[in-house]
Amino acid sequence: MTKGELKELGWDSVDYICVTGDAYVDHPSFGIAIIARLLEREGFRVAVLAQPNVKADTDFTKFGRPNYGFFVTGGNVDSMVSNYSVTKHRRAKDAYSPGGVAGRRPDRALTVYCKKIREIYGDIPLMIGGLEASLRRFAHYDYWADCVMPSVLIDTGADLLSYGMGEHQTAEIARRLANGEPVESLHDIRGTCYLAGLTDLPQGAVSCASFAKVSENKESYARACKIQMDEQDAITGKPVVQKHGEMLLVQNPPALPLEQEELDAVYAMPFMKMYHPSYESQGGVPAIEEVEFSLTHNRGCFGNCNFCSIALHQGRRVTSRSMGSVVNEAVRMTKNPRFKGYIHDVGGPTANFRKPSCQKQLKYGLCRNRKCLAPAPCPNLEVDESEYLELLRRLRSLDGVRKVFIRSGIRYDYMMQDKDDSFFKELVEHHVSGQLKVAPEHCVPKVLDYMGKPHIEVYQKFSKKYFDYTREIGKEQYLVPYLISSHPGCTLKDAVALAVFLKRNRLRPEQVQDFYPTPSTVSTCMYYTGLDPMTMKPVYVPKDPKEKAMQRALLQYFMPQNRQLVLQALIKAGREDLIGNGPDCLIAHDARSFEASRIRKKYADKREPGGRGRTPQNAKKPSRYAKGTKKQKPKNKGNR
């Protein structure tokens, strides 16, 4: 990673330079670490250029011109999500930077890095990948610019875009370039995108609306989104093309998922499992803390929530490491002098998935236009958590291991389909660190349908069973629900309904996520177009900042600082029956004050349909003392 290390190795040049927007952490939870180690395994000399200074050439020239090319990523997270909160304010901290200090990664890092490389090295082979590339490979709505942007291939000037988990395509690109093939000839690699002339249409390709069309027509954008989603399966996916001016963006079919032996080989590479020593004096890299003593046992997620980017990047088909591979990694972990006996997580995108949702998909691919779990489980769903349970038992039995926790997302709807409660019982008894995090997200059926989540009754049944088992073993444990406010389809009344649900179930979430429109997800398409791309029906989208603040405050109605917003929300929604001292009331009766009266008047003509009456705007409040009567002194001055 440094010029000094280059000299120590006796290298006079490097074959490939991997550029990343994150600090360099040599751990398989970091995409660039896998790519760099994979290239090393293929026999190449690799340098990692982490968070280079783009205001000068020095960082980009310290290793010299690479023999074959550059692989560039914005980092583990889209650089705009890393740099900005959902309210578009700059984040004060960055867990992927030394010392957690923000500002080391430029906005739209992928584009900035590539332009700098082109400026210095001209037409050198330039490949982009990682999450930022995957999510921005087609024309996409950009929340921060509030407009539709072209494929990131256009903006970066890169030769190839590797989307998804990139092991297969990276190895093939690297080998073929080293064999002397020009980068322009590498247009037949699965899991990649490239730019071509308008006449170079691949055989069997599916066309979606052009960049110009989706920029001006929201219906075209929504239809293009559905086409792109339909072709994400490695078995059934066809090439997809999208016109960008006089160029044609071509997406080849997705790369085939790694088989178990291949995934085991990835995790057997000699990762240091730590950030580079040069960061020690800067306070280390905070992102290592959660993953250093965690184990990833799977990849992919057939849950396929509409707001999640996993289906676009890791895919819906689940691939798992062998139990031997995971256990061997845990044994090595116990030898680490920093290990205190606690394995923090055994998970992945979804912890309790070990196998594909059904065997049929291995031959015919995953179903289009339907989900495996929502709104109800598919009849073909195969539920079996026995292998995952066996893995946890083996890890618990290792010398030096005191506790094995699960902190990745658990799909409780999948658990509730398991007729054998062995995993459920042992999860509660052995693998909860006081709190289990689950993601019901909302309680209103139509909102959950827009999210692609199961209905709330499943969560309620799960919750009852969870606390029943917790009481049986005599422990005090909790459920921590993840919730999203202001998701497309969620009205203010729906947010009020969720607040009432939380009150009735005695849930007080410490953290609430306002919906964040990340590039290219189905939910982001709804946010931008106001259409559900799967049905082309209109969707209500809360965009007004004041309403979004009200929806978020309702989910934490119990916090004193949210009182004013909750009061406004209840009056605007026509739910003043929830102001008072009743069992369902969200704020106390003393809120019916001059403040409430003022707010009631403000929203008199702005209440949502179905509100409980209006206060006439010109209604005059009677004087406290009628004209001509003697003013009476208050009986109790102290309570005045």
What CATH number is attached to the domain comprising 312?
Answer: 3.30.750.210
Residues 495 and 401 in one domain: no
pLDDT at res. 608? 57
Strand order in 192-197's β-sheet? 46-50, 16-20, 69-73, 126-129, 160-162, 192-197, 247-251, 240-244, 206-208
Residues 341 and 425 in one domain: yes
Residues 21 and 169 in one domain: yes
Residues 374 and 500 in one domain: no
Residues 522 and 585 in one domain: yes
State the residue range of the domain holding 336: 293-433
pLDDT at res. 311? 84
Residues 426 and 495 in one domain: no
Considering the domain boundaries, does residue 501 fall inside one? yes
Residues 529 and 396 in one domain: no
Average pLDDT on 132-146 reads 97
Residues 394 and 536 in one domain: no
Higher per-residue confidence, 621 vs 274: 274
Domain end point (choices 132, 155, 188): 188
Distance CA 181, CA 169 (A): 15
**620: confidence class by pLDDT, cuts 50, 70, 90:** very low
**Mean pLDDT, the chain, as a whole number?**
92
Answer whether 317's CB lies under 8 Å from 234's CB: yes
How many structural domains are present in the chain?
3
pLDDT at res. 638? 42
* For residue 233, pLDDT beyond 80: yes
Report the length, in residues, of the chain: 640
Question: For 555-597, what is each residue's pLDDT tens digit?
Answer: 999 999 999 999 999 999 999 999 998 888 999 866 445 555 6
Average pLDDT on 522-543 reads 97
* For residue 533, pLDDT beyond 70: yes
Distance CA 317, CA 558 (A): 41
* For residue 610, pLDDT beyond 80: no
Residues 428 and 490 in one domain: no
Distance CA 173, CA 192 (A): 10
Considering the domain boundaries, does residue 498 fall inside one? yes
> Taking the complete model, does pTM exceed 0.85, yes or no?
yes
Domain end point (choices 163, 188, 213): 188
Answer whether 360's CB lies under 8 Å from 380's CB: yes
**636: confidence class by pLDDT, cuts 50, 70, 90:** very low
Considering the domain boundaries, does residue 376 fall inside one? yes
Question: For 373-386, what is each residue's pLDDT tens digit?
Answer: 999 999 999 999 99
pLDDT at res. 312? 87
Considering the domain boundaries, does residue 96 fall inside one? yes
Distance CA 612, CA 614 (A): 7
pLDDT at res. 513? 92
Considering the domain boundaries, does residue 137 fall inside one? yes
* For residue 602, pLDDT beyond 70: no
Q: Which of 401, 400, 424 is nearest to 411 (CA)?
A: 424
Question: For 234-290, what is each residue's pLDDT tens digit?
Answer: 999 999 999 999 999 999 999 999 999 999 999 999 999 999 999 999 999 999 999
pLDDT at res. 597? 60
Question: For 76-91, what is each residue's pLDDT tens digit?
Answer: 999 999 999 999 999 9
Considering the domain boundaries, does residue 244 fall inside one? no
CATH of the domain at 84: 3.40.50.280
Residues 426 and 480 in one domain: no
Domain end point (choices 188, 221, 237): 188
Residues 299 and 347 in one domain: yes
Residues 136 and 45 in one domain: yes
Considering the domain boundaries, does residue 486 fall inside one? yes
Considering the domain boundaries, does residue 198 fall inside one? no
